[in-house]
Chains A and B, each alone.
Chain A
Amino acid sequence: MWAYEDLVVKAVEYGGKIGADYVEARYHRLKRSSIASRNGGVIGAESSVSEGIAVRVLAGGVLGFSSTTILSREGVSKAVEDAFRKARAISGLVKKPVKFSDENLGRATYECVEAVKASEVSVEEKISFMSELWKRVSDAPSDARVATLTSFLRESEEVKIYANSDGAFVRSRIPRLSISYNVVVTLPSKGTIQRFFSHSAVGGYELAEKWRILDYLPEDVKTFEKILKEGKKPPTGKPIDVIVGSEIVGLMVHESCGHPSEADRILGREAAQAGKSFIKPNMIGMRIGSEHATVIDDPTIPGSNGFYLYDDEGVPARARYLYKEGLINEFLHNRWTAEVFGTHSNAAARSAGHWGEPIIRMANTYLKPGDHSFEELLEGVKYGVYIKSYMEWNIDDERWSQRYGGLEAYLIENGELKHLIRNPVLELTTKKFYSSIDAAGKDLRFYAGICGKGEPAQGVPVWFGGPDVRLRNVILRVTGE
């Protein structure tokens, strides 16, 4: 499993020899296999290997990065030379040299072990799962029709060998399973409802059963039909109470706490791509929300989609308390931003593959649960809306103005769920969201996603989650108005 270790070590040695101030090398392999189906029929099977060695150097205060898929001594030496030569060539344009913080770096090997290796489960069994899913889903509605159900079953294995000139040496193996689907339910007189969803976690085929998709998706489809038939316009124009489902809360904390807390974004390094941050360098300790607004990002949650124990700079991982009881508390750091801020890295450097530089990323971001049952959250609402799930969403590049288009949502009257409503939109500022939380549920749920950032764009697996939360005095909108 640890082939190419010698090339990694030699790359670090060679970079030092040719004069780099700092060198790191990472062998990074992602093996993926997937089966795709549409309406119960198989489209095909695909497998891929993304494999190569990434080299990063510091030369003349400039970061140089190079990646090669040519896994020979010559190929890797050329990568080291490219990174060094091109960084040095451009050093005349640099005003602030890059430096790294001092850290206690890891020397370790770790591996996640699947209960059932997905590669050892027969293709027939996987296909049978997808066929059964179509059968149950297409049979579910009474008047509406399931126009399309596409599903993808993906398994992957990520292997990394990392070394740097400051003494880090970390090897890891992480397997993941993912099942995603897109279902379109249509009732010609009423329109369509569409739902994309992905499950993904570290582990093996045992997860397929745990997710219980065969059980819940047909029920969801029945609900989508009901939304088409009975969904009413949401109340708009005046402040009401809104219970936001954990699925949306998870996305909201990812978008409006995790991203703006990335220290490279705060320092402007991603300004032309993922954007800047409303959080400025001197805002630690400032109030952003109510006492219920505690947001944690933790790479060390066993089985999580964003799991790791050492980041891609060799720094040991730990939980980060980004917002704590309503205050901005901690940024996500790599070794460069930690040096700029005079602190230590909290191990947020991640790379999506051998072709990507390690940059600051989230892992598993969630709002800390409270003590309310769902019924208790409802009880406190005289007139409001419960939005359980979403489709459309976006947020501005400073992470201040955010919008979520509700999919499954209900009117609440006197503490009870009433009729379904269609296309409510929660569109509010980050501060308004965190400040309006007056109670949080006690059930913590996680959702899987691929988070994009960087140039070239790097998608890394993450989880985001939280409990259901209750917001007071929020004005809703509706799509299309």
Chain B
Amino acid sequence: MKEELLSLVNGAVKRAIELGFDEAAVLSVYRESTMVKFANGEPSIVQSWSSNQMSIYVSKEKRLLGTSAPASSLEEAYRMLANLGRISAKMPPSILYAPLPEPRSVEPLSGLVDRKALEAVSDPSRASEVIVEAVQRRDIESFAGMLQISYSVKALATNTGSELAEDSTEVQAYVRAFAGEGSGQWAYGSRTLDLSKLEEMAETASDLAYRSRRQENISPGKYNILLSPMVAGNLLNYVAWMATGSSVLLGQSIFINKKPGDTVASEKLTLMDVPRQPQLPGSTAFDDEGIPTYNKPIIERGYLKTLLHNTKTAAKLGAKSTGNAGLVFPRVWALSVEPGEMSFEELLEETGNGLVVTNNWYTRLQNYVEGIFSTITRDAAFIVKNGEIVGAARKFRIADTLPNLLRNISSLGKEVYDIYWWEVEIPTRTPYILAKNIGTSKHTA
């Protein structure tokens, strides 16, 4: 499959240059995927996908054009290029133009394909049974969730000489369990199918549901809040996305007026983009411009270390590509938060009087530049008094600013979790994170 795709993308690059484009980068991705969705304690649908999508980037006299379409033959690729040719002459030069980079040596990333995951793409029934069994070990009333297993092959060619291919498997799963007034949700993402990890994920969800089955109201105000990896993952996804060069250029970032070296968070926080961590989905050896990826801190000990760039945003903002190219805008591959030294019990003790929030959703910003946001709790939230969990809280909002949240991080757990789901779209490895004196809100009536 790799050879077949490489031949396809090379043929498309060749034709683009023959048609008079100055540059071309062509990426083709073949994907087979299966998803079992659960609701009310049983499968609600089994879904399968088989796709072959080609994305083409070309430039002519600094005009930028891109296209994507299903393409499994050169004829289809040629049609896509002909369409681009028709509009290119009418475009002005792009404000983001920078030449495609020269090819560099790319160290392949091993461990991206797992045989068990590959087999489960055709038959996910065993993994599904494991989830159904594990989630019901606690006294819960029902559960819902999802298991998706995928196999992908991608191939990239550029006119500058890059010819790269990579295949990978990916597992994404989450469960939400319900008990009484309570619910618990947990998620997992990996390159490998490890049934014991799926069991752990399902058990965590049902345990949280069980422990939050009786709830009480809390008053809105400032609290010390222990953010679970689900919540930390969600909020740090926003922070990382805001650290891309395109977010800064398009006015959607708290880093607009910051430069590398500025303090943007507590010294306790180190947030990395980790494309070369093969256990996390999102990991890859090369970006969409053929540049080798590398792990890098976005925030290191509280300092903004680097924004994430492709060649275009890097040129515009006076930096160098960080190997984060999508074909037009940079992307975040996968995130990792450097763990701290505390056990969960020690974190509770450090929380003192406050809250543990295990899951949230619907994070929205009033203002991306100032980072004013709110997000609403979704599942188990616990009340902490004198360092111990004493009850579960009904839904409320965390309502504050992202800069304040980052500054007020005081401690991190030593155990990390690999989170990947609806609200954490960038796979994220993170521990529990304690942020102090954070605003909360609740409906007035």
Contacts and interface: CB of A to CB of B under 8 A. Distances in A.
A108 interface: no
Interface stretch (A109-117, A378-386, A424-432): A424-432
A481 B442 CA distance: 11
Interface stretch (B269-277, B360-368, B407-415): B360-368
B395 A401 contact: yes
B72 interface: yes
A63 B45 contact: yes
A479 interface: yes
A392 B39 contact: no
A267 B70 CA distance: 36
A83 B50 CA distance: 11
A46 B443 contact: no
Interface string B6-38: 000000000000000000000000000011111
Contacts of B363: 394
Nearest to B72: A70
A474 B40 contact: no
Interface in A268-295: 268-273, 275
B251 A182 contact: yes
B63 interface: yes
A104 interface: no
A105 B438 CA distance: 54
Given A48-B68, A49-B68, A65-B47, A427 B95 contact: no
A71 B67 CA distance: 19
Given A49-B70, A51-B69, A269-B39, A479 B49 contact: no
Contacts of B401: 480
B65 A66 contact: no
Contact of B250 (A182, A428, A474): A182
A90 B94 CA distance: 51
Between B128, B143, B369, the greatest number of chain A beta carbons within 10 A of the residue's beta carbon is seen for B369
B251 A396 contact: no
Contacts of B376: 394-397, 401, 403
Interface string B144-180: 1110000000000000000000000000001110100
Contact of A392 (B41, B251, B374, B422): B374
B362 A395 contact: yes
Contacts of B256: 147
Interface stretch (B85-93, B109-117, B299-307): B85-93
Contact of B364 (A94, A124, A392, A457): A392
Nearest to A193: B367
A18 interface: no
A63 B44 contact: yes
B125 to A, nearest CB: 5
B399 interface: yes
B185 interface: yes
B208 interface: no
A80 B423 CA distance: 31
B422 A455 contact: yes
A147 B251 contact: yes
Nearest to A184: B251
Interface string B434-445: 000001011111
Interface stretch (A35-43, A162-170, A313-321, A324-332): A35-43
Between A51, A64, A271, A429, the greatest number of chain B beta carbons within 10 A of the residue's beta carbon is seen for A271
A223 interface: no
A230 to B, nearest CB: 18
B370 A272 contact: no
A192 B443 contact: no
A192 B369 contact: yes
A191 interface: yes
A354 to B, nearest CB: 9
A69 interface: yes
A301 interface: no
Contacts of A93: 42-43, 128-129, 132
B40 A269 contact: yes
B174 A272 contact: yes
Given A427-B441, A480-B401, A95 B361 contact: no
Contacts of A429: 443, 445
Given A41-B95, A184-B369, A429-B445, A48 B67 contact: yes
A396 B443 CA distance: 11
A477 interface: yes
Interface in A372-415: 391-397, 401-403, 405
Contacts of B87: 45, 123
B341 interface: no
B52 interface: yes
Given A93-B129, A357-B45, A475-B445, A69 B52 contact: yes
B366 A45 contact: no
A51 B72 CA distance: 12
B42 A67 contact: no
Interface string B226-251: 00000000000000000000000111
Given A47-B67, A62-B45, A182-B252, A267 B175 contact: no
B373 interface: yes
B373 A392 contact: yes
Nearest to B37: A455
B160 to A, nearest CB: 19
A268 B70 contact: no
A395 B369 CA distance: 23
Contact of A455 (B35, B43, B444): B35
Given A68-B50, A69-B70, A402-B443, A148 B250 contact: yes
A194 interface: yes
A46 B64 CA distance: 9
B372 A427 contact: no
A331 B43 CA distance: 23
B441 A396 contact: no
Interface string A17-47: 0000000000000000000001101111111
24 contacts: A39-B95, A42-B93, A43-B96, A44-B63, A46-B67, A47-B83, A62-B43, A70-B52, A75-B50, A83-B46, A87-B45, A87-B46, A90-B43, A90-B125, A90-B128, A95-B41, A123-B90, A269-B40, A269-B144, A392-B365, A396-B362, A403-B441, A428-B445, A457-B422
Given A271-B144, A401-B376, A456-B35, 18 more contacts: A38-B95, A38-B250, A44-B94, A46-B65, A79-B48, A90-B124, A182-B250, A270-B39, A272-B39, A391-B366, A391-B367, A392-B372, A402-B443, A427-B444, A476-B444, A477-B441, A480-B401, A480-B439
Chain A to chain B: the 3 pairs with minimum beta-carbon distance, closest first:
A148-B251, A44-B64, A41-B95
